[in-house]
Amino acid sequence: MKTRISEGNPFGYNRYGFLWEALNMIGFPKVHLDYGCYDGKVINKLNETGVISKGIGVDINNDIIAEHSKDMCNDIKLQAINANERLPFDCNTFDSASILDVIEHVQNQEFILKELRRVIKPNAILIMTVPKKHLFSFLDMGNFKFRFPKIHRMYYIKKHSLEKYNQRYTKCKNGLFGDIDNTKMWHQHFSCKEIETILKKCGFETILFDGMGLFHRPLGLINYFLPIKFGKIFELDSKIFNSANLFCIAKKI
């Protein structure tokens, strides 16, 4: 990771640390939108550490939003959305937006990015992270369930339960197969050129690329089957290399 992590950054060398540094770089109080916020802990921490003044986190997971909304700071709100509908905000509402590890899961990528462009102010920044195409992309455990569905089913049921497997992969709640759009069924990886192209098509100018890691995929493969902790190795890999995940800052044009 090329981006230097400041002493006050609470996240470290990962996509959230990159987001924190990008927002801190703007240097003025701002209203932020986090698309795909899940439980809202990240946007809440952004507010607690002062890099945003107010924020809204949106996610398609209604249950998670309902469960964690009460835990947010006064200036942070969580809101459930439908991924195939327009965002419930006026044009030019937000000073910045983030979409971290989201578009690789969905089919309607351009629609979502255009919606984010619509609701942020002129010249506002978008921070986006995705898996990057690199040497070990083929080892992505996010695609294990698509490459080897029978083995995945057997392993998941043994590790969790048949009930949890059915909840996550049969009922496809919120239109997701696990965490992937059930019309997409693939955990996509991107090159810098592909991200630059889609962002330009959606009305953004790319101003910075970064990334983290190199050995995340093989380490993740080992960790999936064996109870081995790679915390220190993951941290060092994230800090030294920038190939496993792609980070981007773009400006609305």
Q: Residue 174 — pLDDT band, cuts 50, 70, 90?
A: confident
What is the rounded CA–CA span in Å between residue 68 and residue 107? 27
pLDDT mean over 40-63 = 95
Which structural domain range is residue 146 located in? 141-186
The candidate with the shortest Cα–Cα distance to 133, out of 77, 191, 56, is 191
Same domain, 43 and 58: yes
Is residue 90 domain-shared with residue 201, that is, in the same domain?
yes
- Report CA Rg, the chain: 18
* Domain boundary residue, one of 169, 186, 203: 186
- Of the pLDDT bands very low, low, confident and very high (cuts 50, 70, 90), residue 13 is very high
Please report whether residue 197 resides in a domain: yes
- Are 56 and 156 within one domain? no
d(CA 88, CA 66): 17
Mark whether 230 and 108 lie in a shared domain: yes
Residues 91 and 54 in one domain: yes
Strand partners, 213: 242
23/88 same-domain check:
yes
Which band of pLDDT confidence, cut at 50, 70 and 90, is reported for residue 176?
A: confident
Pair 79, 164: CB distance under 8 Å: no
Q: Into how many domains does the chain fold?
A: 2
The answer as to whether 3 is a domain residue is no
Q: State what percent of residues in the chain have pLDDT above 90.
A: 85
Same domain, 109 and 33: yes
The whole-angstrom separation of Cα 246 and Cα 212 is 7
Beta strands in the chain (DSSP E): 31-35, 54-59, 76-80, 94-100, 120-131, 176-177, 180-181, 204-212, 245-252
